Amino acid sequence: MDFSFTEEQNKFRLEVRNFLEEEIGKGYWKPTCDAWIQGFDPEFTKRVAHKGWIGLTWPKEYGGHERSHIDRLILTEEMLRYGAPAACHWFGDRQVGGTILSFGSEDLKKEFLPRIVEGEAYFGLGMSEPGAGSDLASLQTRALEDGDYYVINGQKTWASCASFAQYFDVYVRTDSEAPKHRGISEFIVDAQSPGLSRIPMTDITGTEAWNDVFFDNVRVHKRYLVGEKNRGFYQVLNQLDYERSGMERLMGNYPLFDSIIQFAKDNKLSQQPVIRNKLAQLQIEFEVGRLLIYRVAFLMEEGRAPNWESAMSKAYSTEFEKHLAGVAMEVLGPYGQLTSSSKLVPLQGMALHSYLGSKGYSLQAGTTEILKNILAVRGLGLPSS
């Protein structure tokens, strides 16, 4: 065993930090909770692309950099530590690019991967539907073949920050006779396609967080089918394992962690045994979560797709994020209830935002209950319920 980073990895971390601190120093953006998913900044994404930090692990022939999964984890860890606005490229970089790489045709790889790497193709997800959440295989959006095209009709929902998406990675039913897991296919759909429309939804923090996405006879050429027809459900399981694998599940509200520790020190609250105990417990939980996530990256580096291990780390980590938000509110006492625009608000209202926003952390990308099912069945070999 060796828990250390190599000299190159440490140098890389420093390089990322220096870049991000310079960005903050120039006033380009401010560290913000949830910026990885809600911070849309095309210029930032271009600058990150210019550094060569998108598609870090992908093959060079598609514009990637063939670097390790540990390097990618270091990069994302620092982006999250600084609350950087990386939402434009996050989905493409984290999972859609990977799914195209694993399952897509050569044409699809050539069309999309270099553009993701250059920070020019932003992706949203079309998975959940009003009637298909945890039971994703029951989805009803349909695609019918019509010559060289598929015609899609239906509705997707909870598409995170989809207002900015230029493309959607959409799962639709292509065989309504087959068992429900075996009749689903994956498509890349241009968000500007005629018949596609979006309605934004506001979450309980007051932020535009999701979109309903409607498909009304949207025509998609066959070349945008990803992988095999009717194998989409198996592809989405794989993609979800990646979606759950990263540090954003632990560090989505990290800027609050730093801020509340500093606040406790500045206000001498940290001398109180109860507050010391609570903050130390958070630190312990954070470090354990970090180790669980590094384990996932280590497995990926060994050439294995993440599996129940990312279900474990995600279910664990979102509890940490919720715990952090709860402790921050307790430390602030009555001031915790003040909203970001209020007189006397501490920490720019970050604690309140995070407290409300964190309710969704254990729902997205697989609810904690589904993740525990996965861990129990795939990881521990318990019989399916």
Partner 1 sequence: MELTLTEEQEMLKKTARDFLTDKCPKSFVKQMEESKTGFSRELWEQMAQLGWMGVAFPGKYSGGDMNFLDLAVLLEEMGRACLPGPFFSTVVLGGLSILDFGREEQKQEYLPKIILGEKILTLAFTEPGYYNYDDRSVTVEAARSDGSYIISGTKLFVPDAHIADNLLCVAKTKPENGITIFLVDAKDPKIEYTVLETIAGDKLCEVVFDQMPVSEASILGRLNQGWSTVQKTIERAAVGKCCETVGNIQRVLEMTVDYAKERKQFDRPIGSFQAIQHYCADMATDVDGARFSTYRAAWMLSEGVPCTKEIAIAKAWTGKASQRVFALAHQIHGAIGATIEHDLHYYTRRAKAAELAFGDADFYREIVAREMGL
Residues near partner 1 (CB under 8 A) are 1-5, 70, 261, 264-265, 270, 276-277, 279-281, 283-284, 287-288, 291-292, 294-295, 298, 301, 312, 315-316, 369, 371-373, 375-377, 379-385
Q: Phi-psi region for residue 202, left (φ > 0), alpha (ψ -120 to 50) or beta? A: beta
Q: How far is the CB of 65 from partner 1 (least distance, A)?
A: 19
Cβ closer to partner 1: 237 or 261? Answer: 261
Nearer to partner 1, 341 or 384 (CB): 384
Strand 149-160, strand 208-221: pairing: antiparallel
Select 199 or 284, whichever has its Cβ closest to partner 1: 284
The secondary element (H helix, E strand) that includes residue 324 is helix 308-332
CB 219 within 8 A of CB 150: yes
The minimum distance between CB 277 and partner 1, in angstroms, equals 5
Cα gap 70→12, rounded to integer Å: 11
- What would you report as the CA-atom Rg of the chain, rounded to the nearest whole angstrom? 21
Compare residues 2 and 177 and give the one whose CB is closer to partner 1: 2
Output the smallest distance, CB 382 to partner 1, in A.
Answer: 4
The CB-of-77 to partner 1 minimum distance in angstroms stands at: 13
- Alpha helices by DSSP H, 267-307: 273-301
Rank residues 96 and 347 by Cβ distance to partner 1 and give the closer one.
347
Distance CA 260, CA 327 (A): 9
Beta carbon of residue 254, minimum distance to partner 1 (angstroms, whole number) = 15
- The H or E element containing residue 99 is helix 97-103
Contacts of 291 (CB under 8 A, 6+ apart): none
| SS3 of residue 190 by DSSP | strand
> Closer to partner 1 at the Cβ: 3 or 106?
3
Residue 46 has φ and ψ, to the nearest 5°, of -65, -40
CB of 208 to partner 1, least distance (A): 33
Q: Which is nearer to partner 1, 159 or 264 (CB)?
A: 264
Shortest CB 333 distance to partner 1, Å: 18
Q: How far apart are CA 178 and CA 155, in angstroms?
A: 21
- Beta carbon nearer to partner 1, 50 or 304: 304
> Closest distance between partner 1 and the C-beta of residue 237, in Å?
18
- 127 Cβ neighbours under 8 A, 6+ residues apart: 136, 139, 156, 158, 171, 236
Q: Are strands 208-221 and 196-202 parallel, antiparallel or unpaired?
A: antiparallel
Q: Which of 262, 298, 301 is nearest to 279 (CA)?
A: 262
3-class SS of residue 58:
coil
CB of 214 to partner 1, least distance (A): 34
Please calculate the CA angle 374-380-382 and round it to the nearest 5 degrees: 80
Query: Considering beta carbons, is residue 359 or 378 the nearer one to partner 1?
Result: 378
